[in-house]
Structure 1
Amino acid sequence: MATSRRGFIKSTATAASGLVIACYLPGCSKPEQAASNAGPPKLVKANAFLQIGTDGSITMFCDKSEMGQGVYTALPTLLAEELGVAPDVIKVEFAPPGNEYVNKMLGAQATGGSTSVREAWDKIRMAGAEARTRLIAAAADEWNAPPQSCTVADGYVLFTSRRKSFGELAEAAAALPPPQNVQLKGKNEFKYVGKTATRMDTPSKVDGSARFGIDVRLPNMLYAALAQPPELGASVRSFNADKAKTMPGVREVLQTSSGVAVVADSWWQAKQARDALEIQWNAGPAAKLSNASIYAGLKNAASGKGLEVRKQGDADAGWKANGRRVEATYELPMLAHATLEPQNCTVEFRDGACHLYVPTQVQQMAQAAAAKAAGLPPEQVLVHTTFLGGGFGRRLEVDFVPAAVECAKALDKPVKLLWTREDDTTHDKYRPPARNTLSGAFDSSGKLDTVKIHMVAPSITSRWAPGAVPQGTPDPFSVEAAHNFPYDVPNLYIDYLQHEVGLEVGYWRSVSHAINCFTIESFMDELAAEAQLDPVEFRRSLLGKEPRWLAVLDVAARKANWGSPPSGRHQGVALMSGYDTYLAQVAEISLEGNKLKVHRIVCAIDCGQMVNPGIVQAQAEGGIVFGLTAALFSEINVANGKVQEQNFDTYRLLRLNETPTIEVHLLNTDEKPGGMGEPTVALVAPAVCNAIYAATRKRLRRLPIVKHGFVV
């Protein structure tokens, strides 16, 4: 039937009702109505992940931030699988702050810890299955047909020759009571899950339409640049803004809770005027802090006894009884996140609310920080999450939000606050420094009898989520990749001693997996050398009770042709389980004098069931590049309270010509999904350092590698 464009618009505007479905979470905030492009639909009174319009449109409210890890594709795929539609017909919007979007694995509305797919695997599929069940029930009622004989396909419910679109059924489905005994599909029924498919965010990122925080443009928007203390923890004593106020485009200079901001018509004008400010700073508690004092403090603290993490047998007795011993201490540096998109936040006050446009991993925390700065209740702060130009844990912090709110409130105009690269590098929440001491003893038959692991480091979680670290218990994020030590020894003791170093530390991609995997897997190589055994065979001999660990080790060794590298090359191996994923890596390097070349990294991964193997592979490759950058070059140095590294000239990234060939081999298993955003990062440093030992017989017990005289 022909219709005019005007008639079509009028008809869709008047028929704008629909269905919103999700898993009901008792105790969460009351359901709210979501916005639809077609107008205000009628919504089911439940916490919404899914919206279906009467026009057949399908919208998913994605409760995870997209920072390159692929949730913009993976989570809609889970929903689509159960709903019976192709993933690419689903429109994705980022969910607002809300208790219904709390990440159950983290206890907060947060994207991190490689939890996105693991936490969503049942929850999002259930949301799709619940909607499917309602839609089928609505059609079956209309047709007087048995629901079990109805099916769904491509946005329709089907029964014999009859069919009705989801849009036609949306209102009736919304009126039905919550379904009971909703059934999820089995793996053998999957049409989309487990298949490699093009990422849904790729087209917008290619054509430039994807909106990152730095891309936000609002009418009449101004720009702010923030002068922050050069010393960590310092504060403003006084400032002279006379010169800055006379500079072109400058609208205002104001003191904020974190420094002095200049607001201008363009960001460059704001930055130039900021640099002209004359500011006197009060010294803070970190004024005399230096790397020397930080590592001296860790060393002194290491003589103390930590909180018990794991114990089997009697490690003290085993150590005393066996004379063939190995002991080593490893030190790990502080690291910056170095996201390619510096921290930024855009704020607008309108219609009685504070609108926050922000690349964040923590919507509710960002909302709370903005509300406090604005003097508003949290419900009057609306958070619009953008794509993140890198997260790596940095955007689990909200320290860049309040100043933007304060500027926008003072000028009563939209304001975008943007940090410089130097701001970002010198005012990060750095990965903790650490000092780990490991001991091993062999019995008279040459078998490994005793291992002790003593970890000393600051605690991130004690600051970020103190309720997650009860008094007298170790920070669970500080003992990752150590508490699950897989090697079979009669006597094992692991403890963790929390020692704060005078500055705030933050979660960094793979957090303590990278710290503890480096120390343990380097030490396992030291023990293999003492036992005069091949490093792979030594590990195999201790993994008889750990089939998943053993499987990835065997695949990596076989694919890397372990023991027979090309002439002039040397190999190192590392093994780890983290985020419910099991991995092994083999690094292949060469040395000409002090010139180090990493030629190849082979990685075997068992991450259980996969939503999109192509994304898994990409995450593995990206993590390896990220980990190699850190292993080779990265270190934050502090002198007299000032961070010395400023930009990518002094905190440099791996270059294209320095990137090795990366081979990723995925094991196909039926295990529950594991996380993939972070784990490959952790194995790179020990694998490369173990390869360097194979080439030089020199142990590297402190990173980065270039600090040992190597040139890349």
Structure 2
Amino acid sequence: MSTQNNNLSRRAFLRNSSLAGGGMLIGFNLFQACKPKVISEPAIDLASLDYNDFNAFIKIADNGAVTIFSPNPEVGQGVKTSMPMIIAEELDVAWKDVHVEQGILDTENYTRQVAGGSQSIRFGWDALRQTGAAAKQMLVSAAAAKWGVDPSECSVSEGVISNAAGDTMGYGDVVNEAALLEVPEDVKLKSPKDYKIIGKDAPNVDIDEIITGKPLYGLDYKEEGMVYAAVVRPPAFGHKLVSYDATEAKAMPGVIDVFTIGEKLRGLKEEVPRITNITSDSDKVVVIANSTWEALKAKNAIKVEWEEASKAESTAEHDKILTDLLSGNTFETKRSDGNINKAFAEADEILERTYESPFLPHSCMEPMNFFADVTDEKVRLIGPIQTPEGTAGFVAQMLGRDPKDIHLEMTRIGGGFGRRLYGDFAIEVAEIADKVRKPVKLVFSKEDDMEDGVYRMAIKYRIKAGVKDGKVTAYHLKEAAVNSNMYGLIPNFFPAGAIENYQVDTASYDSNITTGAWRAPYTNFLAYAEQSFFDELAELMEVDKIQLRLDLLDKVKPEEDERIQYSPERMKEVIRVAVEKSGWGKKPDNVYQGFVNYYCHNTHVAEVADVEIENGEAVVKKITCVVDCGIVVNPLGALNQIEGGVLDGVGHSMYGELTFENGRPTATNYDRYRLLRMREAPEVETHLIQNEYSPTGLGEPTLPPAGGAIANAFSAATGNRLYKQPFAKTPELLKAPAKEIIG
């Protein structure tokens, strides 16, 4: 067992013994545990505390019932299950006896209530364990005092405390006494070999509600007296409202009012430039009605006049601009090792390729929606959001309110993928509610989602490598992107540190089309480009494709370069296992394989795609995925995340594309935006590396490698290299050569 010093202040660890029926409430700041020791604050009047003021804590009733509150937004990544599992493990209670509830936003006790970057478990790991261990130690101490023995003589199993004499007490028997004890300075944490909950499959805690349709999601939320809002937004990026006629709309059944919003949003955008996802500086027309259907119908009846306030851009223009950027000199260097110009001049051979990717929408199943109720006393916000604290802060600024006036509750999220990092929809409904002074629910239509989105930016990468005496001596990666100041490439991932002369440059075109994080930001397209390039480089060098990667990894010395974020040893291990488990090089002649290894979101991944020829065309049949994400809290949840990421990567690299004409998306619903279909989904075989490293990200790391794996497999099957996504846009490149068709 390991011992850690909590350095907890009373503000970080709160107990309340005045719960109805008696019991103990523990609220713990997940991240203060990692901060330097703080001076203890004056004793808190425990009887005055209301547990609803805290969001991530343990509640133990005197009947032994245990409730654990999960602090972070649940967006389908499983944290509402896995975070409480970590607490329950150290608390030493039976998982089947734990009830889990979603916490609310609490800016005093938490510093990262965010669902983004695959970081929830990684950041919460140590503090969540300490939460459970500290509560357990207090309960044991209370039982030991009752028995008149030393706590070291006691043991715990599934919420039952035992002493050396064989006496037992349940947590409920001592919870009231435990609530009066001092918070322990040091807590003992379990060794992984003693885990009973962590590492075991646990179904999603919401699964019964999900499959029976009980209210969980933002769209489900309603309350007495609530009205519904729909918003008429600019039809294209760069357009601005001139006038509107709502005569017909106001006469429609259920319509309560029609008005404009925008002034407060514009003021907020000027004050907080980061809110670039609020589509334009234009006013917007709002319909208030008795139902969503009535609001949406009335919205379509409003006659609106718009003007082009700034250039309405098209995909063809973006394509030319990015090409010109790649050929120009307006680059910002992100990393430069050695002298690439000298190395290229001395190279025996040079390979240079350009890779292109389109804009992509997030395509969440649940459209954007949020609830707001603004009164003089409080602003209540309820709905699906990945960034509750930031959103609440923006609302407070916009309305000129004290942040303490903002009460935000998180619902389960029906798909986020980065779109719900941007709380524009919550900010909009807060302005609407402030105007009507009624509880309001704002709902986007699917067309609203697609037309007024925050998209993955369009990017072009140009990669150039030099080879001298059979070794890679130079590597130059150039990125040209629409709004790359939002999310650009990563300069310190592989092959950084592996090539002596290495440079990464970026150039950006600023567009009024809103862009931002899209699942696996930075890497979702870069992984395909780089890993496809490495395959072609190995072919040029006439060396084994996997051995080339291993040879480069052998040169990486993280201990000598603190910028390097990946572990070459852990990367080599996922490569070794992927080769073994995929049957690399040992498949029948009709199976063509493509390999990729990649690191992102603190996790090492290797993937192998199996492609076969069906009716003369290359088809993805299987992906073997090997993941090193450290300790796996919930293997069942991990499997879901891994498979979902792989299939998302396959689908978007094959079919995903959003184009613009005169500032307007050409696809506004699923009839024109192509997603992976069930019959097209390949088998995914998953293997997890077993070790005792602290957990790392899992919601995103398996998506980026998928595109590269299938591109490399397609090349093996057809002889054609793919340089542009989506791959299915050039179906002729997926065709097998004539001998395969004949055979």
1:606 partnered with 2:610: no
> Counterparts of 1:82-101 in structure 2 under 5 Å?
82-100=90-108
Contact 1:19 / 1:170 at 8 angstroms: preserved in 2? Answer: no
SS at the partner of 1:665? strand
Deviation at 1:44, TM superposition (A): 13
Superposed, 1:530-541 pairs within 5 Å as 530-541=540-551
Residue 588 and residue 46 in structure 1: after superposition, are their counterparts in 2 closer, same or farther (change >3 A)? closer
Between the aligned partners of 1:50 and 1:622, the Cα distance in structure 2 is 31
Q: Deviations over 1:529-565 (max 9, x none)?
A: 1012332233233333522222212222222222243
- The Cα offsets for residues 211-255 of structure 1, whole Å up to 9 and x where unpaired, read as 100111211222222111101143322111100011111111121
In structure 1, the residue matched to 2:367 is: 342
Query: Which of the residues 302, 317, 324 maps onto 2:349?
Result: 324
Is structure 2 residue 313 aligned with structure 1 residue 289? yes
Could you tell me which residue of structure 1 aligns to residue 690 of structure 2?
Answer: 668
Distance 1:374 1:88, change over 3 A: farther
Larger CA deviation: 339-348 vs 275-284: 275-284
1:138 is matched with 142
Which among 72, 78, 88 is matched to residue 86 of structure 2?
78
**Most deviating of 697-706 and 74-83:** 697-706
SS, match of residue 615 in structure 1: helix
Residue 351 of structure 1, CA deviation:
8.7
Quote the Cα distance in structure 1 between the aligned partners of 2:614 and 2:65.
Answer: 61
2:678 equivalent in structure 1: 656
Give the Cα separation in 2 of the matches to 1:44 and 1:619: 31
Cα RMSD over matched residues?
2.9
Query: 1:154 and 2:158 equivalent?
Result: yes
Cα deviation for residue 42 of structure 1 reads 7.2
**Separation in structure 2 between the aligned mates of residue 561 and residue 232 of structure 1, nearest angstrom:** 49
Equivalent in the alignment of 1:510? 520
Partner of 1:333: 358
Task: Report the CA distance between 1:203 and its aligned residue.
Answer: 1.6
> Residue 68 of structure 2 aligns with which residue?
60
Asked if structure 2 preserves the Cα contact closer than 8 Å seen for 1:19 and 1:171, the reply is no
Do the aligned partners of 1:16 and 1:40 also contact (CA within 8 Å) in 2? no
CA–CA distance in structure 1, aligned partners of residues 248 and 590 of structure 2:
62
Shift of 1:327: 0.6
- Ranges in structure 2 where 5+ consecutive residues have no aligned partner: 1-17, 263-282, 556-567, 736-743
Q: 1 CA distance for matches of 2:168 and 2:681?
A: 54
Q: Contact (CA 8 Å) 2:380, 2:407: kept in 1 or not?
A: yes
Give the stretch that moved more between structures: 639-648 or 170-179.
170-179
Instruction: Call closer, same or farther: CA 1:183–1:284 in 2, change over 3 Å.
Output: farther
Partner SS, residue 400 of structure 1: helix
Instruction: Work out which of the residue numbers 105, 113, 116 in structure 2 matches 1:112.
Output: 116
Quote the Cα distance in structure 1 between the aligned partners of 2:293 and 2:587: 53
Report the counterpart of residue 566 of structure 1 in structure 2.
588
Equivalent pair of 2:69/2:101 in contact (CA under 8 Å): yes
Q: 1:380 aligns with which of 381, 401, 405?
A: 405
Superposed displacement of residue 638, structure 1: 1.4
For residues 472 and 647 of structure 2, what CA distance do their matches in structure 1 show? 34
- Calculate the TM-score normalised by the size of structure 2: 0.85
1:240 is aligned, of 239, 245, 248, to 245
Structure 1 residue 17 displacement after superposition: 4.8
Out of 717, 720, 731, the residue aligned to residue 709 of structure 1 is 731
Listed as ranges, the matches of 1:17-36 within 5 Å are 17-23=23-29, 25=32
- Displacement after TM superposition at 1:306 (Å): 3.6
CA contact (8 A) 2:59 2:67 kept: yes
- 1:29-63 residue CA offsets vs partner (Å, 9 max, x unmatched): x99x99x9xx9867799985323333433332322
- C-alpha distance in structure 2 between counterparts of 1:161 and 1:226, whole Å: 67
Paired AA for residue 639 in structure 2: Q
Render the CA deviation track for 1:354-380: whole Å, top value 9, x for unaligned.
221110011112212333455532222
Aligned partners of 1:93, 1:45: CA distance in 2, in Å?
A: 14
AA aligned opposite 2:479 = M
- Measure the CA separation in 2 of the matches of 1:594 and 1:481: 40
Question: Secondary structure at 2:381's aligned position in 1?
Answer: strand
Picking from 164, 171, 178, the partner of 1:166 is: 171
Aligned position for 2:8: none
Distance 1:46 1:573, change over 3 A: same
Alpha-carbon distance in 2 for matches of 1:682, 1:611: 23
SS of structure 2 residue aligned to 1:338: coil
- The 5 A counterparts of 1:489-500 are 489-500=499-510
Where do 1:196-595 residues align within 5 Å? 196-257=201-262, 259-285=284-310, 287-302=311-326, 303-304=328-329, 306-349=331-374, 352-444=377-469, 446-458=470-482, 478-480=488-490, 483-485=493-495, 488-544=498-554, 546-591=568-613, 595=617
The answer for unaligned runs of 5 or more in structure 1 is: 1-11, 464-476
How many residues are matched?
677
> 1:121 — aligned with what?
125
Residue 19 of structure 1 contacts residue 173 of structure 1 at CA under 8 Å; is this kept in 2? no
- 2:153 counterpart letter in structure 1: S
Q: Does 1:642 align with 2:664?
A: yes
Say whether the 8 Å CA contact 2:358–2:459 is kept in structure 1: yes
Q: Is the 8 A contact 1:482 1:516 kept in 2?
A: no
Per the alignment, in what secondary structure is the counterpart of residue 524 of structure 1? helix
How far apart, CA to CA, are the structure 2 residues paired with 1:204 and 1:45? 25
- Contact 2:61–2:175 at 8 Å: present in 1 too? yes
Q: 2: distance between equivalents of 1:216 and 1:345?
A: 9
Contact kept in structure 1, 2:238 and 2:512, CA below 8 Å: no
CA distance in 2, matches of 1:130, 1:83: 8
Equivalence for 1:470:
none
Corresponding residue SS for 1:401:
helix
Q: Which residue is 1:628 aligned to?
A: 650
> Kindly tell me: are residues 119 and 535 of structure 1, through their superposed partners in 2, closer, same or farther at Cα, counting changes over 3 Å?
same
CA distance in structure 1 between the partners assigned to 2:665 and 2:21 by the alignment: 59
Does the CA contact (< 8 Å) of 1:19 and 1:41 recur in 2? no
AA matched with 1:298: L
Task: Give deviations 1:616-637, integer Å, cap 9, x for gaps.
Answer: 1111100111111110111121
CA distance in 2, matches of 1:14, 1:635: 55
Structure 2: distance between partners of 1:435 and 1:261: 38
The SS at the match of 2:424 is coil
1:81 to partner: Cα distance:
0.4
Farther-moved stretch of structure 1 (365-374 vs 669-678): 365-374
Quick one: structure 1 residues 376 and 334, their matched pair in 2 at CA, closer, same or farther if it must change by over 3 Å?
same
Partner Cα distance (1:279, 1:47) in 2: 44
- Using structure 1 for the length normalisation, give the TM-score: 0.89
Confirm or deny: 8 A CA contact 1:645 1:651 kept in the other structure: yes
For the Cα contact (< 8 Å) 2:250–2:258, is it kept in 1? yes
SS of residue paired to 1:328: strand
